[in-house]
Chain A
Amino acid sequence: MNKSWKNYRADAFYDELIAASGAPRVAARRVVKLLQSLPEEEMASRRAAAELAIREMGVSFTIYSEGKNIDRAWPFDIIPRVISARDWAKVSLGLAQRSRALNCFIDDIYNQQKILADGIVPAETVLDSSNYKPQCAGVSPLHGAWAHICGTDLVRDQRGKFFVLEDNLRVPSGISYMLENREITKRVLPELLENYSIQPVDDYPSRLHATLSSLSPREQRRPCIVVLTPGIYNSAYFEHAFLAQRMGAELVEGNDLFVDDDDCVYMRTVDGPIRVDVVYRRIDDDFLDPECFRSDSTLGVPGIMRAWKAGNVAIANAPGAGVADDKVVYAYVPAMIRYYLNEKPLLASVKTYLCMNPKDRAYVLANLDKLVVKPANESGGYGLLIGSASSAAERAKFASLIEENPRNYIAQPILSLSTAPTYIDELVEPRHLDLRPFILQGKDTWVTPGGLTRVAMRKGSLVVNSSQGGGSKDTWIVEDNR
């Protein structure tokens, strides 16, 4: 065994690759064996090769810092995360179930509102939320699908059980990194993939294309699909371009599109205007249509909401889908699954205290040091309080924030996130991670095999977001042929 692995200990956490006994888990056995047998220089040189590949492939994300946009190379850890196909099959069913229920919920909220009338979900939590867009009421998108692309964050507790942390239904990103991670592993550790049967990930773009095609308002053999990006300075621009290219769709910016008097969307081309059927938009609702939402938006397309309501164009994800992407609504998802599907939830949710309920609020305020407090509708890991790592002053600040606006905060117990061996400097050390699979919902439902594993590169850190120093790993779903 090479020295980098010598003192590897996962301590009290569930480790994805190494069991408590210190032996590799069955599905990961060959990966671990091979990596442990590599000489130390070889580990370092593979990492260097990965970094070079990332630079050459131009895999980057942009962060906004000190008034400047900086293009950073994508941080990648060469040791893959391995999950057995058997474990994954159950998770996958749970994700599909969840996505179906969430879409039923959104469709219900903008139409009959049965779930509110039946008192399953309190009406004010939904209708007073800034994620509820009254402009969308009365619209019935094809197949009842609103959240066509959902990125659900999963974590595992100390026993290895999967929990849903949140559902990202607005404009979830990360899929291109999942695909590029596999590409990098193939380039720099090809021998690792030998004799393994790993579920392939690279058909995602064609699955996405099929999902988007199924939304087209016109019966056409090849509907016109575009990816709408806010532009080069968006942190996920790389991904927008990547997906457009892989799908053979046009990558457009707001001013490439316009809505004509016939309420149809057109794109400006060198051959003149061409009608657009499906817009895979990667800009937020608020910026989508200055006629309907923020009037100062220069990123959007004036009139696109008109065209959408008239049924002349599909928008994915549908405007207003974010109503179910709210940490308060999250607490009601198990109830939704029972209500709409009459099924038992297959995936666990994290116990959630809603600060708007007086009883929960009292508990949260008394136990701030043991909880994670999150704003109800922020993403990217911003504005949260991790109780165990906070100062008294920070806790006091959050206490008053909660008192001021209880609807806007929820709290959850601090989970002991699972770890996986991660190559840091010269040593392999455990680091915490999560997993973001993607669920597609159009005419059919489809779940990615695995997803994007994000890893907190700082020792002990639980924050995995790339904007805050997180990295990523290739994620393998393998058949466990013992």
Chain B
Amino acid sequence: MNMLSRVAERLFWMARYLERTEDTARLIHSYAHLVMDIPRGSEPGWDILVHILNTEPSYNEHYRAYNELNVMKFLIAQPDNVSGILSSVRAARENVRTTRDVLPSEVWEHVNELYLYAQEYSEKSVGRRYRYQFLETIIARCQMINGILVSTLPRGHAYRFIKLGRLLERADMTSRVVDVGAAALLGEERLHSSVDPLIWASLLNSLSAMGAYQREIGPQVEAGAMVDFVLREGTLPRSIKFCLNGIRQELSPLNNNKEAIRLVLKARRKLSAFDPQTCSREELHIFLDQFQVLLTKLYSAIDQTWFMTAERRATATLS
């Protein structure tokens, strides 16, 4: 089956935005859940969510204080926040709207319903009363869409670029959750370290890795073991290693895949050489930073090789 470069690009981004929607919802969900467990005064603050999503400049345009209501509004219902739920859902829908001819028709129907749902309820779900239900529904709907894709889409190019988009976004999100989580928790200035295990557990939850961690490692969540687990446990679907393996697998049947594969292999080597159990918080941060740069390069390689048409390349060099 043929796959237009333009369509491949839109499918890739549809998957990235769907993944971003689900990941952001998970992150807010587990963090908000956690905050209820922590005594007043010890909570690490709502700004951590904005830092994880790396959207401080956009946040500061709209809000001053980092309180619960502002942050929730920004992440759930702000139409122009590109990592927020509402705008991610809208972007996913736009990409499906222009590629629905290559997808099973239920995909369009469900993405459209997801959009209509987010459109109608996001504003009302900023407060604690309805937020939980809203996030659960968003996550469930994303999972349903992924389920349809996995169970109905033939394993051709369409599926391949969707999977590439999903895994790249997921690897990116996982590395950010770890990086910012570590920064906030391993900082010297905080005193209430008794709640730290709770926060680590919450981050594990946001990567839906808590159950797996308990079975594999044990009930006590420790920083080093937890980081190692979400970075390098190859069987865990949200671990970085799992994502890289999946990307490698989808790249291999494509034409002209040399550069992209080179970058994936490089990322994999770096990951195996790194030991989260013994590193300092500074080393972890530097590692994750370099790792993010690699992911960005990998995206450019995919973009240049399979998405960028001759015209776009010409106009890009002109401007």
- Interface residues of chain A, those whose CB is within 8 Å of chain B, are 55-58, 224, 232, 241-242, 244-245, 250-253, 255-256, 258, 267-272, 274
- Judge if B309 is at the interface, Cβ distance under 8 Å: yes
In the complex, 5 of the A-B residue pairs with CB atoms within 8 angstroms, ordered by the A residue number, are A58-B108, A241-B98, A241-B101, A250-B2, A256-B309
Bound: A272/B157 CA distance, A: 13
B144 at the interface (CB under 8 A from A): no
B255 touches which one: A252, A256, A270 (CB < 8 A)? A270
Alpha-carbon distance between A269 and B5 when the two chains are bound, in angstroms: 5
Instruction: Say yes or no: A274-B112 contact (C-beta < 8 A), given A232-B98, A241-B100, A245-B101.
Output: no
Q: Is the CB of A267 within 8 A of B105?
A: no
Kindly list chain A residues whose C-beta atoms are within 8 Å of the C-beta of B2: 224, 250, 267, 269, 271, 274
Given contacts A250-B4, A268-B309, contact A56 B101 (CB under 8 A): no
- Whether B100 contacts A270 by the Cβ 8 Å rule is no
| Interface residue tally on B, bucketed by range | 20 to 34
Q: Are B3 and A271 in contact (CB under 8 A)?
A: yes
Known: A56-B109, A56-B112. A270 touches B3 (CB 8 A): yes
Contact (A256, B8) CB under 8 Å given A58-B108, A241-B100: no
Question: Which residue on chain A has the smallest CB distance to residue B113?
Answer: A56
Shortest distance between the CB of A80 and any CB in chain B (Å) = 23
* A270–B113 CB distance below 8 A: no
Which residue of the partner chain A has the closest CB to B111?
A58
User: From residue A344, how far is it (CB to closest CB) to chain B in Å?
Assistant: 43
Contact A252 B112, beta carbon cutoff 8 Å: no
Do A270 and B157 form a contact, CB below 8 Å, given A55-B116, A241-B100? yes
- B311/A256 in contact, CB under 8 A: no
A238 to chain B, nearest CB (A): 9
For the complex, give the distance between the alpha carbons of A268 and B100 in Å: 19
Specify which chain B residues have a CB less than 8 angstroms from the CB of A252 in the assembled complex.
Answer: 4
**B306 CB-CB contact with A under 8 Å:** yes
Smallest CB separation, B97 vs chain A (Å): 7
Please give 4 more A-B residue pairs, beta carbons under 8 A apart, in addition to A56-B112, A250-B2, A270-B255.
Answer: A58-B108, A245-B101, A268-B6, A269-B5
Question: What chain A residues lie within 8 Å of B112 (beta carbons)?
Answer: 55-56, 58
* Alpha-carbon gap, A56 to B310, bound state (A): 37
Roughly how many angstroms separate A224 CA and B8 CA in the complex, as a whole number?
A: 18
* Residue in A closest to B102 when the chains form the complex, CB atoms: A245
- Note all chain B residues with C-beta closer than 8 A to A271: 2-3, 157, 255
A242 to B105 CA separation, bound complex (whole angstroms): 10
Please provide the chain B residues from 56 to 89 with a CB less than 8 Å away from any CB of chain A in the complex. none
A476 to B109, CA, bound (A): 26
Contact of B4 (CB < 8 Å), options: A56, A58, A245, A256: A256
Interface status of B254 (Cβ within 8 A of chain A) = yes
Specify which chain A residues have a CB less than 8 angstroms from the CB of B306 in the assembled complex.
270
Given contacts A245-B101, A251-B101, contact A268 B109 (CB under 8 A): no
> From residue 1 to 52 of chain B, which have CB atoms closer than 8 A to chain A?
2-8
- In Å, the complex CA distance between A232 and B97 comes to 8
Asked if B113 and A253 sit within 8 Å, CB to CB, the answer is no
A18–B254 Cα distance when bound, in Å, is 62
Residue of B nearest to A71 (CB): B97
Q: Given the complex of chains A and B, what is the CA–CA distance between A244 and B97 in angstroms?
A: 13
Task: Indicate if the CB atoms of B8 and A245 lie closer than 8 Å.
Answer: no
